[in-house]
């Protein structure tokens, strides 16, 4: 089983506005998303621009910056949301997925990372990660992540409070 940390940290300089973030086994979920979409983005760029190589540093900044967290206000009831029963604005009845990450522009629905959250009395599983605006990508090659439910719920009720976005601090 994986270990999860729920994080709360400010959006840029907007200190009063906090967002949700996550580390799975010590790695930010956005790093997993970057790894899962790297080849898909490269293929799109090559189809659009030809076979030229892009700037690797710029590509990495783009990949790590494509998603951001969901604000605490947006999520509302975190226990409900992160146990796979999101508020109606977040629900996707067609596939029962829940957004875990939103767009870095601040509008979560602009570029969400959605996952199926499945619960049992003993586990919580995040699987079937998708980008709904790239249906041709299908299920992204990440996860499934299986968490011990009591540890998951304990982490959810006591998120780690950070002074800044952990990826922006590292990649500034």
Over residues 62-101, the pLDDT tens digits come to: 899 899 999 998 898 999 999 999 988 888 888 899 999 9
Over residues 105-155, the pLDDT tens digits come to: 888 888 999 999 999 999 999 999 999 999 999 999 999 999 999 999 999
The token pair at 46 is 């090559």
Our CA dihedral for 133, 68, 87, 22, rounded to 10 degrees, sits at 120
For the entire predicted model, the pTM comes to: 0.91
Q: Could you give the CA distance from residue 160 to residue 80 in angstroms, rounded to a whole number? A: 19
Q: Could you give the CA distance from residue 94 to residue 86 in angstroms, rounded to a whole number? A: 14
């Amino acid at each position: 089983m994986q270990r999860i940390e729920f994080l709360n940290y400010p959006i840029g300089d907007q200190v009063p506005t906090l967002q949700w973030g996550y580390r799975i086994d010590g790695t930010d979920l956005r790093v997993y998303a970057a790894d899962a979409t790297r080849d898909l983005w490269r293929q799109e760029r090559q189809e659009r621009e030809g076979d030229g190589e892009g700037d690797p540093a710029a590509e990495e900044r783009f990949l790590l910056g494509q998603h951001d967290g969901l604000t605490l206000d947006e999520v509302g009831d975190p226990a409900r949301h992160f146990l796979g029963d999101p508020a109606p604005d977040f629900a996707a009845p067609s596939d029962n997925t829940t957004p875990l990450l939103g767009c870095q522009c601040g509008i979560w629905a602009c570029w969400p990372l959605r996952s199926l959250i499945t619960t049992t009395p003993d586990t919580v599983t995040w699987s079937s990660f998708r980008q709904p605006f790239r249906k041709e990508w299908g299920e992204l090659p990440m996860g499934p992540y299986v968490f011990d439910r009591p540890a998951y719920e304990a982490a959810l009720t006591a998120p780690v409070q950070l002074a800044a976005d952990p990826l922006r601090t590292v990649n500034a």
